[in-house]
Amino acid sequence: MNALRAEEVYAEALGRQVRLTRSFFEASQEVVDQEARRRQPAGRNLAREGSENPYEEFLECLLFYYREYREDAMAAERGI
């Protein structure tokens, strides 16, 4: 295989890897969104209506609650 063909094969493989990674993250985002919709109480939306990126806002909200829970658990362990 000559050098030019090797570069073409590498570029094709890299392109497939990028598409596969992108589709994985899009599918992951969809699963998280579906699960969030399924688990949230009726009428309660963790992302603001009309938000530019509801997925990022959902993750920020999730991380906020996780940090709050973790801080409470650590305080309970210390007996505060």
> Is the domain of 9 the same as that of 26?
yes
pTM of the model: 0.39
> Is the domain of 1 the same as that of 21?
yes
> Is the domain of 35 the same as that of 58?
no
Read off the pLDDT of residues 30-65 as tens digits, 9 standing for 90 and up: 887 777 777 766 555 555 556 677 778 878 888 888
Concatenated DSSP letters of the chain: --HHHHHHHHHHHHHHHHHHHHHHHHHHHHHHHHHHHHHSPTT--SSPTT-S-HHHHHHHHHHHHHHHHHHHHHHHHHT-
What is the number of domains present in the chain? 2
> Is the domain of 53 the same as that of 32?
no
